[in-house]
Amino acid sequence: EDTYVIEVSPTGLARIPLALPTVTTDSSLSESFVEEFRQTLMEDFSFTGILHIIPRQAYLADPEKKDVDYEDWLFIGAEYLIRVHLSSTGDNLRAQVAIYDIALRRKQSSQTLQLPFDSYVLLAHQVAGHILYEVSGIEGFFDAQIAYTSDYGSQAGGAIKNIYTMDFDGSQRRNITRNDSININPFWHDNDKIAFTSYIRQRPEILLRELDTGRTALLAAFGGTNTGGVKSPDGKYIAVTASRNGISNIYLLHSDGRMYRQLTHHWSIDVTPAWSPDGRYIAFVSDRPGSPQIYKIELATDQITRITYDGRYNVSPAWSPDGSEIAYVSLEDNKFNIYIVQNDGYNPRRLTYNSGHNETPRWSRDGNYLLFNSNRSGEHKLYIMDRSGAFQKRLNDGPGNNTMPDWIFPKSQ
Amino acid sequence: CGPQQVAVDEPMVDEPAVSAEEERERDRYADDPYADDPYADDPYTVEDRERYAFNSPVLNRIYLDGSQMYTVHFDFDRSSIRSDARKILDNNVTFMERNPEVKIVIEGHCDERGSSDYNLALGDRRAQSVKDYLVTNGIDASRITTISYGKEKPADPRSNESAWQKNRRGEFVKKQ
């Protein structure tokens, strides 16, 4: 395990100071349980880069007093006061969250979130997401599920790779493939289905694993090399890359795997399909200009337009949730870095600098954060960064080289 | 019918994609073939073999006398056959002509740079361009299958130019 963590904290990024006093409870819950709940909130907030929790020692106001002493909180520089009250009712855990806007001297919101008691960690993540949204307008991502590829368990330089899933906070880590083959490139299809490329049948084919039943179906096995397996936003189609006689093209399958139609018809490499959120476009990588560049194809007209012109090697496109931008990876002096470009190809912006290779960007659901993998600490590990790239932090992912992450968020309640 | 079921995990026993014997076979091709010279007692006298000596930029001194097949190498992000690879492929053609029963798998590989799926496609094209070269030089296509491992099976796991050059390769693996 590497020994240090580099946390690039934002310079000049305005951080929102919050006061988060001790979580209160009635007699139904123990002190340590309540303190652990607060600790989970603090841990989640540490992955945003924009929230600053004022240390409790600085708090002047009397925590027992019901009404809020705005002067006291203003004095220590808090912009918001967050009061969380936990209670267990029957077999449920309930969190009442009150948020006070100190400058405006008023209660901004109060909300009750409740889950079965044994999902208390998930409840903490949802409370943290609620607070983040209330004070910043940014949607929480702490309850996300992450799928990724790891070579953990394969001896050094060995080729064995398996697909793992974990919760955002690094808990519930499970390998969902356990074979001595190469399993890479996972894509979430639903909260319980993952498509991935596997060599289990001695050729790279796309399998679809149902997490709860453990069943694995063959999604694309068109001879040659099959990669991708990305579901369209409306769920009707799946975009894959298949090759014949060394020529890779992008195809659309029906959701059950039957061939629907061929999208690209070029002798070059066309690979890595990525849907636009409205389902009207697919971004992809093509080396038709002599080096890999990002293109997009409009499905209704088959019109293909090139997006990236800077740099000799641009791969791994990913549309932002509002469709306005595409994140991708560009190679410069043997190092990969993550960029964001407008969907018409104008003003590419670089996000990562001198931190090893940075690959496979994946947007959060409101486009304010990106999940990616980087080998800045030696082995490849999973990281999160905000869309400016100013804030980057490593997740609590497991041992081994962890790459090709994809994340999915619970269906909003 | 619905998508075909595939057993992926226990209790299914996965024998490795490449058998141990094939692994040894490949080691002879991939690494320095000069280490244990398998042809010490070769009928050629040393002088004759020297006629076939060739200084490959990656494999160093090898003997292109058709007695064994060697791995070929590519430039970055290219699948075209380099001049050194051309000489090696001519040797490999000779070997296959002398051993008509031999069937091979050509594995296309890439160095670690680039996304996994782009490299899988590039490895596929490298394996295909090697196959095309052999077929145009008279080897029956039915004796050759291709597969791409992209950047997933590096011959040299290090991250430097010499490792990358070694990894951008087309390997010849005898099929059982």
The two three-digit tokens of residue A153, written as one number: 């368990």
Q: Is A359 on the interface with B (CB under 8 A)?
A: yes
In the predicted model, what is the mean pLDDT of residues A45-55? 95
pLDDT of res. A352: 97
In the predicted model, what is the mean pLDDT of residues A27-48? 95
Between chains, do B124 and A208 touch, taking CB under 8 Å as contact?
A: no
Chain A residues 327-356 within an 8 A CB cutoff of chain B? 329, 331, 334, 336
B17 → closest Cβ in A199, A228, A271: A199
pLDDT of res. B16: 46
Average pLDDT along chain A: 93
Substitution target in B118, B158, B168, B175 with the highest count of A β-carbons within 10 Å is B118
In angstroms, what CA-CA distances link A253 with A46, A229, A240, A270? 41, 9, 7, 16
A179 → closest Cβ in B14, B124, B127: B14
Confidence of residue A153 (pLDDT cuts 50, 70, 90): confident
pLDDT of res. A288: 96
pLDDT of res. A327: 98
CA distance B46 to chain A (A): 37
Q: Is A228 on the interface with B (CB under 8 A)?
A: yes
What is the percent of chain A with per-residue pLDDT over 70, rounded to a whole number?
96
Question: What element of type H or E holds B133?
Answer: helix B116-136
Residues of A in contact with B131 (CB under 8 A): 246
CA distance B94 to chain A (A): 24
Between chains, do B122 and A198 touch, taking CB under 8 Å as contact?
A: no
pLDDT of res. A386: 96
pLDDT of res. B10: 47
Return the residue of B nearest to A245 by Cα: B128
Q: Is A256 on the interface with B (CB under 8 A)?
A: yes
pLDDT of res. A265: 96
Q: How far apart are alpha carbons A23 and A73 in whole angstroms? A: 17
Between chains, do A208 and B3 touch, taking CB under 8 Å as contact?
A: yes
pLDDT of res. A7: 55
Q: Is A204 on the interface with B (CB under 8 A)?
A: yes
Q: Is A224 on the interface with B (CB under 8 A)?
A: yes
pLDDT of res. B22: 61
Q: Express each pLDDT in A337-356 by its tens digit.
A: 999 999 999 999 999 999 99
Q: Express each pLDDT in A214-253 by its tens digit.
A: 999 999 999 899 999 999 999 999 999 999 999 999 999 9
Q: Is A219 on the interface with B (CB under 8 A)?
A: yes
In the predicted model, what is the mean pLDDT of residues A358-363? 97
- The string of DSSP codes covering A78-133 is -SEEEEEEEEEETTEEEEEEEEEETTTTEEEEEEEEEEEGGGHHHHHHHHHHHHHH
Q: Is the pLDDT of residue A97 over 90?
A: yes
Q: HEC profile for A350-377?
A: ECCCCCCCEEEEEECCCCCEEEEEEEEE
Confidence of residue A8 (pLDDT cuts 50, 70, 90): low
* One pLDDT digit (tens) per residue for chain B, 176 residues: 455 666 655 444 444 455 666 666 555 545 454 555 555 555 555 667 788 889 998 999 999 999 999 999 999 999 999 999 999 999 999 999 999 999 999 999 999 988 999 999 999 999 999 999 999 999 999 999 999 999 999 999 898 999 999 999 999 999 97
- How many helices (H) and strands (E) chain A has is answered by 3, 30
Q: How far apart are alpha carbons A66 and A80 in whole angstroms? A: 16
pLDDT of res. A308: 97
